[in-house]
Structure 1
Amino acid sequence: MSGTSEPVLVVDFGTTSSSAAVVVGAAEGRTVPEPVTGAATWPSAVFWDGQQMLVGTLAERRKRSEPESFAAEFKRGLAADASVVLGNRRFRPIEQVVAMLAALRVEGERLHGGPIARAVVTVPASYGSHDPRRARMIAAAEAAGFDTVELLPEPVAAAFAPIVGAPFEPGDLVLVYDLGGGTFDTALVRIGERWHEVLGHAALDDCGGRDIDALLAGRIHIDGQEWLAPLLSSAAATPTAPATLRLGMAVTDFAQRLKHQLSDAPAVEDFFLPNAPPYRLSRTDLGTLAAPLLGRTLACCTDLVTRLGVPPSEVTAVLAVGGGARMPAVTELLQRALRLPLRTVEDPALATVRGAARWLPSSGPRRVSAQTSPEPTLPLAFPIPGGSARLLRWLVVPGQAYLAGVPLARVRLPSGALWDLTATAPGTLDRLLIPPGAEVAPGTWVALARP
């Protein structure tokens, strides 16, 4: 596999927001805009209207009309994949992921002007080789209409993102600090020419930008008791009543709006309701409120480096990515506590998708040539890189002639990367020895061919 003229949709599927880019050949990826807002990020949200699943901003705009039909952060439930009720139906998290990926594919094809059959989906480094979330993400992408699906670790993608200043050099050790909307992930990555190696990783599944929003929303409830009291009294007593859910959504959205404004201003004054008094908040207030949560992310980073036995002096830099990295409190904390060079990207929220789009054409020809014998019927075996791989599909059929260098089959490595098994000389495929779905070990005879 390599960056060819075949169009590829690169997807960063996040807990609270997602983004995608169309990559064709060596050209720079084109970000897929959200169809309602035109923004580069899509809310990872769905809404079942009784007949179809709405996604993104369309879902966000309907959530207050029927809160019980709305869902967000469903990526967190992908491990158990237990169904939840949306309106009058039950949906598993994987089905909600399919709806989001299908919408991204439709808009990507509209931007490209033609069909897109191949996808690269970034996943957290915590999704290990036997983690069921890997298989479910691949299955969701296939159900969304992609024929070929490749997984790429998020910290590897982030390390390929265009950074401010000089680029990283091969051999550099980079600590990726990824504070997303729903989770925090960190990884120590060794920079390479074509592939970056994840030396170790750690994650906090309950520590993201939305958790900061929840803390701020709690403070707004306390500070605004006087003007929220009439709304609270009119809301139903049960936490799951639509009126109660609507009020909670409104306060959380207001908290998020305040937080975003503080990325550009030292203090902000805004109104929850036209007749309510102004609510004032400063960066210092927000930093104090978020300090315990951000302290957990810092401890997660230092514990990872300690566990790997890497002296801090050998770490080249900290790379801050994710939407939460926009907060000045985050960058100030990293600079003050870690005492390492801090590297940033133009838009931290798009670092993963832009890095993946840059990685794809630079990943090189991921092909391995056959090992044959001098017999009239040649057994084909391949030196699979990194150990065994799973055979996804045969690209030629018995009786079909092929030329040297032509891909015969496609395999998926444990890392999620796709490789093509190619012929070293022309021939005709005689018989298949390994069926699709089977594991292929290095040197195993996978087929017989005739010169």
Structure 2
Amino acid sequence: MTQSALVVDFGNYQTAAALVAEDQIQAIACPPVHPDSPLDERYLHAVITEAGRHAQARIDRLTLTIPTAIGRDEFRRAAVVALAAGAGFPDAELISDAVAAVTDPFTRPDLPDDSLVLVCDLGVSWSATLLRMAPEQPVQLAEETASESLTRAGLDILTDSALRWLIASCRAIVARAGASPGEIAAVVLVGGASRFPAAASALRAELGRPVLQPIDPEFAVIRGAVQWARQTAGRKLIAVPPSWRVEPLQWAVPERARLLRWLVAEGQSYPAGACVAQVRTPDDRVYDLTAGREGIMLEHRVFAGRYVNSDNALAMARSAMLISGDRPTKRLAMKVSGDWMLTPDRQYLVE
């Protein structure tokens, strides 16, 4: 069955959203954003309602972009997750603007794992972020965000002071990460203001590193978030079933993951491949824990919100198929004469 995902990129003055189902991507018209509260539950409900009207079907998953400033702030991330849960999506996934920008198919360079990339997002709020490329997704190492939003249009936003802040911020976050500008593989430049040549020229001249600019840079974040959401199928963990009649359910879960929720209740049966639970990683990816074979859920051993690891038996289950293949139990009769007594330690029978 095809799952549909809604991807929402919140902005201070404009929100972009897209509905993703397999190879089809449909842009969603979003209501105007109120500058004082661009991200709240009521507004998110409005976007979800509009997307549902276009989809004419249930939306299965939700992906939200978050500003680079809260990319590593667990408390602020938790607040966004709670907001999504209030809108009916407790399994919503979060991706930072910078990570989404380098995931954009029109942006991401062919760089090896462990290489360092600077992302300069010149939208309404300017930010600079240092990422380390990794197989699953880039890791955010350090970031700087401008203290004030740059709201004036045109060349006014590209003043010398703004460009000096950008260059100084890039140097500062590289130094905080214990690296040097020479170790930066590339600088990715996105956001509406990146269209002006002065920004790319200043970065190239001051840092001496290649500058990459995608087409339509103001849409790089939403495109990258859509690409990331389409990789949900790769975040499924299948249980390795032992050959026991009553068996523990274990998965090779990512480090420091928390159990998000159980989707199969105790006493409920499930088919092979069913998603029985979900876990959330510290960077707010959500993994589906799927069943290696059919079974009946006997007991939940871990409650939602608890940390889990690969050594944990998260639940106990039994396979009706295995039980049905058992041979009938043999009943043995022993003929005796006289009386029998059980010893006090209950270990022996004596005649």
Change (3 A) 1:314 1:322: same
CA–CA separation in structure 2 for the residues paired with 1:187 and 1:5: 36
Change (3 A) 1:446 1:132: same
Structure 1 unaligned spans of 5+: 36-42, 46-71, 76-95, 214-255, 260-282
> Within 5 A, what are the aligned runs for 1:212-361?
213=152, 256=153, 259=154, 283=155, 287=158, 290-361=159-230
Change (3 A) 1:323 1:6: same
CA–CA separation in structure 1 for the residues paired with 2:72 and 2:171: 25
Report deviation, 1:311.
3.7
Task: Work out whether 1:177 is the aligned partner of 2:140.
Answer: no
CA–CA separation in structure 1 for the residues paired with 2:206 and 2:13: 28
CA–CA separation in structure 2 for the residues paired with 1:286 and 1:179: 10
Identity %: 33
User: The residue matched to 1:293 in structure 2 has which SS?
Assistant: helix
Report deviation, 1:200.
1.0
Task: Work out whether 1:14 is the aligned partner of 2:11.
Answer: yes
Report deviation, 1:396.
1.3
> Residues 129 and 140 of structure 2 are in contact (CA less than 8 Å); yes or no, is this contact kept in structure 1?
no
TM-score, normalised by the number of residues in structure 2: 0.81
Match of 1:138 among 64, 77, 81: 81
User: The residue matched to 1:177 in structure 2 has which SS?
Assistant: strand
Task: Work out whether 1:168 is the aligned partner of 2:110.
Answer: yes
TM-score, normalised by the number of residues in structure 1: 0.64
> Residues 72 and 140 of structure 2 are in contact (CA less than 8 Å); yes or no, is this contact kept in structure 1?
no
CA–CA separation in structure 2 for the residues paired with 1:428 and 1:332: 63
Report deviation, 1:128.
5.1
User: The residue matched to 1:74 in structure 2 has which SS?
Assistant: coil
User: The residue matched to 2:8 in structure 1 has which SS?
Assistant: strand
Match of 2:273 among 400, 405, 411: 405
Report deviation, 1:122.
1.3
Q: Work out which structure has the larger RCO, using CA pairs closer than 8 Å and 6 or more positions apart in sequence.
A: 1
User: The residue matched to 2:258 in structure 1 has which SS?
Assistant: strand
Q: Which amino acid aligns with 1:412?
A: R
> Residues 259 and 280 of structure 2 are in contact (CA less than 8 Å); yes or no, is this contact kept in structure 1?
yes
Q: Which amino acid aligns with 2:197?
A: P
Report deviation, 1:408.
1.2
Report deviation, 1:412.
0.7
Deviations along 1:3-33, whole A, 9 cap, x unmatched? Answer: x721111111123332111111233x32222
Structure 2 unaligned spans of 5+: 320-351
Change (3 A) 1:286 1:361: closer
CA–CA separation in structure 2 for the residues paired with 1:104 and 1:443: 40
Match of 1:97 among 25, 37, 40: 40
Deviations along 1:31-89, whole A, 9 cap, x unmatched? Answer: 22246xxxxxxx531xxxxxxxxxxxxxxxxxxxxxxxxxx1536xxxxxxxxxxxxxx
Counterpart for residue 200 of structure 1: 141
> Residues 17 and 30 of structure 2 are in contact (CA less than 8 Å); yes or no, is this contact kept in structure 1?
no
CA–CA separation in structure 2 for the residues paired with 1:185 and 1:30: 30
Counterpart for residue 29 of structure 2: 33
Change (3 A) 1:188 1:207: farther
User: How many positions carry a matched residue from both structures?
Assistant: 318
Q: Which has the higher helix share?
A: 1
Report deviation, 1:337.
1.7
Instruction: Please report the RMSD computed on the Cα atoms of aligned residues, expressed in angstroms.
Output: 2.5
CA–CA separation in structure 1 for the residues paired with 2:176 and 2:128: 16
Match of 2:250 among 364, 381, 385: 381
